[in-house]
Amino acid sequence: MIVRKPLPRWADLVLVPFLNLTLAFLISGLVVLIIGENPLEAVKILLYGAFGYGEGLGYTLHFATNFVFAGLAFSIASHAGQFNIGAEGQAYVAGLGAILVALALDQTHWLLVMPLAMIAAGALGGFWGFVPGYLAAKRGSHVVITTIMFNFIASAFMVYMLNNVLKEPSNMAPESATVVNAGKMPQLREWWDYFGYSPLNVMFFVAILALIATYILLWRTELGYKIRTMGQNPNAAHYAGISNSAIVMIAMTIAGAVAGMIALNEVLGVQNRLVLDFVFGYGFVGIAVGLMGRNHPIGIALAAVLFGALYQGGQELAFMMPAVTREMILVIQALVILFTGAMEGLFRGPLEMMFGMLEFSKSDTKDDAAASSKS
């Protein structure tokens, strides 16, 4: 009889995601073939566009910065057992805090603007995460549904704010005034022209710090221990004297605040003004990043770079191959989410069976060896 055992750690962390990704890319290649282009050529363009030269690499890392924040926003909530799909809305409302601080302090220094904008964006994003957290903890609402609804409420709210409050009277488009001085995040290209015209800015370093801080928070502090205990077994957490509802609210607030950092990277790093829909789906991609990264900072960093490369390489692809439009990125993204997230069990079953058989034959030989040494 073959006993199914859990996979060895390396297979779980490396082999399964690798096989799933390969399958997602193979099907993406098929889509490229269907629309009449050469998939191998597409891969070449995509890789060169993402990593081949300074400006491309800059864009890749810029997108990866967004995905790190979005991925962390998903994962921190996930560790507390909450399914946060509201990073999109949390980042969107956070844009309001970022732009208001930046516009008010545009004549000062970026070293003053940046921390204050981070606090403002974090506060608004955190609030947008706190409310679903509160409703889940105290009123028993389902976080998935509430965060979906909050994404739409955020979208309507921001359209109103941009059209009725922030719009310049002289401007027809629904967008805020532009920051010109200290409100802009310093670009890495100002110190190192290797990155060409890419908008890679200081938020990249904030993202790295956020990854480290998340690791410390979750695995090296009491709060992190409580969050993880609560996520794995709410009953055990309750008996250990942990207030589950407080932990849910805290985790959702932190998640929202981290998602809010996307606003600084995009609003103050690229657009220099608040525009409609600047979050552009980054929040949703965070779900895939968190899942692929197995909710661990190192995994999230790797997955964020992968998706950053897909975004930048995909744009290059849309530019170089006439039949491929920007939506190809969406298709690849969907397939990656599908196979690494929802259909994760596709290879797991057969692999467990395979490893089970290997173990079985190994333990057989061991028994034989033990028997022969005795005699």
Residues near other proteins, by CB under 8 A: 31, 35-36, 83, 85, 135, 139-142, 144-146, 148-150, 152-153, 156-157, 159-160, 163-164, 284, 287, 291, 323-325, 327-335, 337-338, 341-346
Shortest gap between Cβ of 165 and other proteins (angstroms)? 11
Closer to other proteins by CB, 180 or 342: give it. 342
Report H helices in the chain: 9-10, 16-34, 39-47, 54-79, 87-104, 110-139, 143-160, 203-220, 222-232, 234-239, 244-263, 282-292, 297-320, 327-337, 345-374
* Residue of 88, 58, 67, 83 whose CA lies nearest to 301: 67
Q: Considering the complex, what minimum distance in angstroms separates the CB of residue 334 from other proteins? A: 4
Instruction: Name which of 240 and 342 has its Cβ closer to other proteins.
Output: 342
Which of 54-57's residues contact partners 24+ apart within 8 Å by CB, and which partners?
54/194, 54/195, 54/196, 54/198, 55/195, 55/196, 55/197, 55/198, 56/198, 56/312, 56/313, 56/316, 57/195, 57/198
**The tokens of 353 are what?**
């069976």
| Minimum separation from the CB atom of position 213 to other proteins (A) | 26
Amino acid at residue number 62: H
Cβ at position 159, least distance to other proteins in Å: 5
Whose Cβ is closer to other proteins: residue 139's or residue 220's? Answer: 139
Work out how close the CB of 307 gets to other proteins at its nearest, in angstroms, rounded to a whole number. Answer: 12
CB of 187 to other proteins, least distance (A): 30
Helix (H, G, I), strand (E, B) or coil at 39: helix
- Tell me the three state secondary structure of residue 15: helix
Q: How far is the CB of 166 from other proteins (least distance, A)?
A: 14
Closer to other proteins at the Cβ: 86 or 125? 86
Query: Cα–chain-centroid distance for residue 149?
Result: 20
Q: Which residue has the tokens 């073959």?
A: 2
- Looking at beta carbons only, is 196 or 341 nearer to other proteins? 341
Spatial distance between the Cα atoms of 224 and 229, rounded to a whole number of angstroms: 8
Nearer CB in complex with other proteins: 95/224: 95
**Minimum distance from residue 337 beta carbon to other proteins (Å):** 4
Both tokens assigned to 338: 């599908």
Between 85 and 113, name the residue whose CB sits nearer to other proteins. Answer: 85
Nearer to other proteins, 67 or 204 (CB): 67
User: What are residue 371's phi and psi, to 5 degrees?
Assistant: -65, -40
Tell me if 27 sits within 8 A of 308, measured CB to CB. Answer: no
